[in-house]
Structure 1
Amino acid sequence: MASISISELKPGIKLVKDVHTPLGGLLMRKGTVLLPRDLDILRAFMIQHVEVDIGEAELRNVTKAISSANPANASDEKPADTAVLTKTAPFHEEYEKLISLMKSAHQSVIASELPIYELRNQLEAAILHIKDYNPLTFVPRSMNEYDYIFHNGVLCAFSSYLLAKWSGMQQKDWMQAAFAGLFHDIGNAKVDPAILYKPNALTAAEAEEMRRHTAYGYQILKNVRAVNEGVRLAALQHHEKIDGSGYPLRLDGGKIHIYAKMVAITDIFHAMTLNRIYRKAQSPYLVLEQIHSEAFGKLDPTLVRIFIQKATEFHNGTVVRLSNGQVGEIVFTDQNHPTRPMVSVGGEIINLVQKRQLYIEEVLSSN
């Protein structure tokens, strides 16, 4: 073991001690075999010395380390990740079946009742593949903008399921949280389609009618036996704010059900990252930043923190496209700034915390 200056480091040398940033954050773990990009990161953080095992710098280690480094630097083209597409195909198929069922459900509740058992069975079938779903990276294979309401509900189901799991709720709550996401906007089935699909600003009377979807949703779910009261309250309360400024009842945080607090977050996220009739999809990273700012007084801050940290929890090496069109890979994420990691582009380390004008537009592939 030896303490060696950064200027003397070579690729292939193994760290024998954790390396921390000047502010105390973990930068690299003990046992890391240094790659060329790692040397750039150490210099970017102005690390002066590291503890290394000189004996690990054999040629075979150097070759192995370099061959696994930076797959995106050779090209700015979007990678064709056929392995990812193949892996996630079953999830996409179950997702599309659930979309079709939700379309039928919106029609059936007008004349009769919600086909809850068919929906539950299909939701459970999709959740069997939940490991292939990430809120930041999943994109429907096809989506008519007029079908936004169905995609939003299904995506909120999966994201609310994960948020319930991530936040440490009991397993029996995970599926109910998914139901809360799936049915939070079911009341829109009783809103005049001319209002629901209007491409420009609503009048005051139309806006008031739109707000009634929360009460309509509660009424639709009132006699559905497969869901609990929290699911019904999520339909009623998902537009409430913890400072009491929401609707329909202007409840404060202590009176809003936990499922409704979760759905409030996932609904905003998917509403802004899906294409809509009057607005194009926004960068999921920018949306998370807006949700973070909204958390102060509006959304549950603990749930917001959990959602952002877990959704952005990608491994180093994740390939992303920046807002200026450049393609690179994430090389370090500071837990204090999870939406603004350090990205390696063509050998240059871009710190998105410092380059505020740039942001991640899209995640292209994750490892």
Structure 2
Amino acid sequence: MPNISVAEIRPGSKVSKDVITPLGGILFAKGKILLPRDMEILEAFLIQQVDIEGSEEDAQAMEPSKTPSKGAVKAGSVITASALAKSGSRLHEEYDHMLVLIKKCYSSADAAVLPIYELRSGLEAMIAHIKDYHVLDFSPRTLNEQDYIYHNAVLSALTSYKIAQWCGYPQKEWLQVAFAGLLHDIGNAKVDSSIMQKPEPLTLTERNEVRKHTTYGYQILRKVTAINEGVRLAALQHHEKIDGSGYPLRLRGSQIHLYAKTVAVADIFHAMTLERIYKKAQSPYLVLEEIQKEGFGQLEPSIVQTFIHKTTELHNGTKIRLNDGRPGEIIFSDRSNPTRPLVSVEGKIINLAHSRHLYIQEILT
């Protein structure tokens, strides 16, 4: 069948040529069997014509007849916290254990040697369940804004480990990158706690004191064994920027260690999506957009691109809530606009790339 108008296409038709979005992304790949909802997606992307082959009957005959078994996980679905609990995953238990350990480290970092082998054991136990960790929708079972810095440490460890995997770092370095995420802010243990817990904006003097946490962190880690120099440099350099505008040394580009560049992305994401004493948690999708902006000049572009691509893939079917309060479901993620997918809300399909006043406020679990 030749190239035909979308209005004439019937569900069950087979796409004979990749359907491309106006921005150049692949909407539907060649061979895709079009379902009723796909008609709405084509209209939402303002696609006028599509190359179709075969008849409706032929196309329907090619659809898999096997139905998924009861309880099977749908392809592209996201494992939520409630699903994890039912599946018997120990991720949350190991996370809570790691949280207790890192609290102890902060309370004694200025006076005692870090229990690095205990930390390593806890980190390995938690990472054993890394397959159950999904950056955008993982939520600790208990969140206290007073404990922000500890949650940021544990989450940054998990996310940094994921980034190391996604970016193809040597496998022997993955645990060290996780250590870098876990200990990147350890220098805050030497910053006055009244400053760290202050609900009002900091004075210039207080901001300068907080900035010292990077050098404090390097000093604490300098003589710690079982971690490599990259972990120490991540503590020192995770606030450096590619364009030289960061601190404490105003380093540029290749002067910044890879671990620090990795941790910087994880740290920014969790710093913005966690509830803090002086700042409300932000939408993870808006945070991804902010990170994408910083990828031009401040963060390592390749890490940013991989992070956004990987965190937003396979989210079709995810239950979400928009910023206007309406619940919905992600039905298609366009690689050209990974943070602004098509969502189904109240029986209508909304393309968030076109409706810029709307965005995903939260993922529902």
TM-score by length of 1: 0.89
- The aligned counterpart of 1:186 is 186
1:205-230 deviations in whole A, cap 9, x for unaligned? 22222111111111111111110000
Cα pair distance change 1:83/1:205, threshold 3 Å? closer
1:46-86 deviations in whole A, cap 9, x for unaligned? 23233143224669969999xxxxxxxxxxxxxx9843442
1:201, 1:328 → 2: CA distance? 36
Query: Which has the larger displacement, 187-196 or 37-46?
Result: 37-46
Shift of 1:16: 4.6
1:177, 1:200 → 2: CA distance? 33
Shift of 1:343: 1.5
- The aligned counterpart of 1:169 is 169
2:196, 2:326 → 1: CA distance? 38
Shift of 1:144: 1.2
1:252, 1:61 → 2: CA distance? 53
Give the SS at the match of 1:296. Answer: coil
TM-score by length of 2: 0.89
Cα pair distance change 1:88/1:196, threshold 3 Å? farther
1:260, 1:280 → 2: CA distance? 26
- The aligned counterpart of 1:342 is 342
Shift of 1:23: 4.8
- The aligned counterpart of 1:70 is none
1:260, 1:23 → 2: CA distance? 33
Cα pair distance change 1:37/1:218, threshold 3 Å? same
- The aligned counterpart of 1:322 is 322
1:22-48 deviations in whole A, cap 9, x for unaligned? 554211123433222101112233232
1:81, 1:255 → 2: CA distance? 39
2:186, 2:35 → 1: CA distance? 51
Shift of 1:167: 1.2
Cα pair distance change 1:29/1:113, threshold 3 Å? same
1:221-267 deviations in whole A, cap 9, x for unaligned? 11111100000000011111111111111111221101111111111
- The aligned counterpart of 1:72 is none
1:213, 1:61 → 2: CA distance? 58
Shift of 1:353: 1.2
Query: Which has the larger displacement, 264-273 or 20-29?
Result: 20-29
- The aligned counterpart of 1:302 is 302
Tell me, yes or no, if structure 1 residue 48 matches structure 2 residue 45.
no
Shift of 1:272: 0.5
2:152, 2:343 → 1: CA distance? 30
Shift of 1:2: 6.6
1:179, 1:93 → 2: CA distance? 19
Tell me, yes or no, if structure 1 residue 200 matches structure 2 residue 200.
yes
| Alignment size in residue pairs | 352
Query: Which has the larger displacement, 258-267 or 318-327?
Result: 318-327
Query: Which has the larger displacement, 124-133 or 6-15?
Result: 6-15
Unmatched segments (≥5 aa) in structure 1: 66-79
- The aligned counterpart of 2:70 is none
Unmatched segments (≥5 aa) in structure 2: 68-79
Query: Which has the larger displacement, 31-40 or 132-141?
Result: 31-40
Cα pair distance change 1:7/1:81, threshold 3 Å? farther
Cα pair distance change 1:347/1:47, threshold 3 Å? farther
1:11, 1:62 → 2: CA distance? 15
Check whether the contact 2:214–2:235 (CA below 8 A) recurs between aligned residues: yes
Cα pair distance change 1:13/1:88, threshold 3 Å? farther
- In structure 2, give the amino acid aligned to 1:51: I
Identity of aligned residues (%): 58
- The aligned counterpart of 1:29 is 29
Query: Which has the larger displacement, 183-192 or 15-24?
Result: 15-24
- In structure 2, give the amino acid aligned to 1:46: I
2:92, 2:113 → 1: CA distance? 27
2:358, 2:293 → 1: CA distance? 18
- The aligned counterpart of 1:126 is 126
Check whether the contact 2:15–2:50 (CA below 8 A) recurs between aligned residues: no
Cα-Cα RMSD: 2.5
Check whether the contact 1:12–1:62 (CA below 8 A) recurs between aligned residues: no
- The aligned counterpart of 1:68 is none
2:50, 2:34 → 1: CA distance? 14
Cα pair distance change 1:17/1:274, threshold 3 Å? same
